[in-house]
Amino acid sequence: MQVRALKSGCVPIYNNLFLAPMAGFTDYAFRSVITPMSVGLAFTELTSAKGLYYGGKNNEKLLKTDDYDRTAAQIFGREPYFMRWACESEYLKYYKIVDINMGCPVPKIVKNGEGSALLADIKLAESIIKECVKSGKVITVKIRSGIKAGDDIAAEFAKMAEGAGASLITVHGRVREAYYSGEVDFNAIARAKRAVNIPVIANGGIFTEKDADIMMERTGADGVMIARGAIANPFIFSEISGEEITGDITTVKDFAIQHLKKEAEMSGDKRAAIEFRKFVNYYFKRVENSKTYRAEIMQSVSAEETERLLRKYL
């Protein structure tokens, strides 16, 4: 694929390779290590607008970053008032781009009428986008191709979002009921791209450089957003961009250890070991006969011990 710079509204974006927001995975620790490795734009974990309003726990942790030029805040909710309030709040004061999640398929989000549930209420979704745009932030939107098999609403929704003032839209080429599996609907993304003049980013099923090439070829999108593929292979962005990796991180072991250290700085020694466990299967994916190694790391109760095991086995 052609890797190039983009603009979202008036905000320049380093390149068209985006890191997807993934709850529980793309926290500050992970993003701070992977973003310098050719990521054009990363997104915080989705954060509740109403939670920000009422001062919910972990807000500062969810929205922590030290790179506002390459990080967008992602928020979710269904009340236009709270969504605009969040955009204008001190929590998002330094963020130039705010992304509205209208694609999350998780039941606890959907049952509240948030995330991908908004795909079924285009008028409400339009009101939310319009209110957020009034905040003065550059507003982007992430959607899915529909809610159930056979839906064909991505183009209509993208056109609405553009008309409401959104500066960029990301389309995950799967319906809500498919969650994260099944074939990606390239045609749905392509139709959305043809329907608007703002940049369209294609998301879903990208695990290799070849996958990114196919996605761009089949959809005509302006860029790609990579999710689980970035956890399984944190070098995927630099592989696609062709940029040389500088610094000390040249192997998955290097990356994993640096990630763990960042997590320890943020969460403390014991908590870091627990948080890191969800990444272990990904980092050991290419290590043969790693079941015993992974099991041992999963039992670790300190970042120090986890690091020792990573150096030994990875």
Active-site residue 104, yes or no? yes
CB–CB of 184/211 below 8 Å? no
If you compute the radius of gyration of the chain from its CA atoms, what whole number of angstroms results? 19
Residues in contact with 40: Cβ distance below 8 Å, sequence separation at least 6, in sequence order: 5, 6, 13, 14, 15, 16, 17, 18, 70, 223
Please tell me which residue in 10, 87, 104, 132 is annotated as part of the active site: 104
Kindly state the tokens that stand for 74.
């992602």
Alpha helices for 151-288 (secondary structure H): 154-164, 186-195, 209-219, 228-232, 236-241, 252-267, 269-283
The dihedrals phi and psi of 94, each to the nearest 5 degrees, come to -95, -5
CB–CB of 57/28 below 8 Å? no
- How far apart (Å, rounded) are the C-alpha atoms in residues 251 and 234? 9
- How far apart (Å, rounded) are the C-alpha atoms in residues 185 and 92? 33
- How far apart (Å, rounded) are the C-alpha atoms in residues 308 and 253? 11
Tell me how many degrees the CA angle 96-98-100 measures, rounded to the nearest 5. 170
In the structure, how many helices (H) and strands (E) does the chain have? 15, 11
3-state secondary structure of 189: helix
CB–CB of 119/141 below 8 Å? no
> Which residues does the annotation mark as catalytic?
104
